Amino acid sequence: MRSDAEWLDILRTNQGFVQPHRWIDYARRHGFRPVPATKLPSCPDCGEVNGRTIGQYVYYSTLISLKACARCHLLYSDTRIHPAIIRSHFDRAYNDEDYFLVRRQRIFEQIVGEVASRAPRGSAVLDVGGAKGHLMASVQRRRPDLAITVNDLSRSKCEWAESHYGLRTICGPAADLAGCSERFDVVTAIDVLYYEPNIARLWSVLARLLKPRGTVILRVPNNLPAILGQRLVANALTTARARQMRTRINHFNPEHLYVFSKRYLETRLAASGFSVVDVLPSPILESAGGMGGVSRLYYRLARALHFLSGRRLTITPGMLVIGSRR
């Protein structure tokens, strides 16, 4: 059993705990351990140092703030856990076949349809952060004429995509694709943007990977309204002292490094040369508790509301963002 002094040493070593003595009991209950991490001095996209704190959360024994950039309006985690820890985490995570083949089936169906309708015959498609290749295997079945490549950080997931689906892979961080000399007609990045530490470089890479008339298809959570709404309620009902001890942000996944607004994504894609940007409601992840019918009904209603509002209102938990060069 560690003593209070030992827990205090861990809290002083780890990032974020400016009043470490107040966190000793919490650290003991949750088995804190020393975790190397780096605090960001500015926005990882535009470099702006000014911004407001939206909330805080504990992840890997580290207290992290979610900040909103005053210039580009990106919401970002102000701390980076050591890359080796994150790489090990993702080697273990998202290996459940049911998650890809069942729970994400309707999400994949929408994306497959978009890729199939936008990719010219015999063209090249790259899936950035494509994990084990389930999505691109579905694209391949629909469009066997396409030359498909899957990129992922995890070596084991790339090997799965190669051995089970016969897909070509490029293993490594998404930002390292800057060294790729190929150009693609369609690039997809599905639920992956929020994992990339160097988001500014990733935007540059995505733009460079595409052919002059190429298309990029992104999927991200649509959770900013829920996060900001919950923040208003919580701030009204709790004291400043209680807020200093918060350990989570409702509606936010602590694995993620960013929260994206439609405004930010549309502006960023336009700056990268995409003349047309479409935002679409994305189907809801199938529930493991038998509520699929309710989810599908909600999605149909959300689609109707989206189009009746002139494509301005998107209320599904996820959104598909498509940038086209014309």
Domain residue ranges of the chain, discontinuous segments joined by +: 4-81+224-243, 97-221+260-324
φ and ψ of 96, to 5 deg: -75, 115
pLDDT in tens, 103-137: 889 999 999 999 999 999 999 999 999 999 999 99
Calculate ∠ Cα 246-252-256, nearest 5°: 110
Q: Which residues of 164-174 are buried (b: 16+ CB within 10 A; e: fewer)?
A: ebebebbbbbb
The residues, any chain, with a CB within 8 Å of residue 212's CB and separated by 6 or more, are: 325
pLDDT in tens, 204-253: 999 999 999 999 999 999 999 999 999 999 888 889 889 999 999 999 99
Longest CA–CA span in the chain (Å) reads 66
The two three-digit tokens of residue 277, written as one number: 């940007």
| pLDDT of res. 226 | 95
d(C-alpha 170, C-alpha 130), whole Å: 10
pTM for this predicted structure: 0.92
Segments of the chain scoring below 70 in pLDDT: 95, 288-292
| pLDDT of res. 291 | 57
CATH superfamily of 97-221+260-324: Vaccinia Virus protein VP39 (3.40.50.150)
| pLDDT of res. 283 | 94
φ and ψ of 278, to 5 deg: -110, 140
| pLDDT of res. 289 | 57
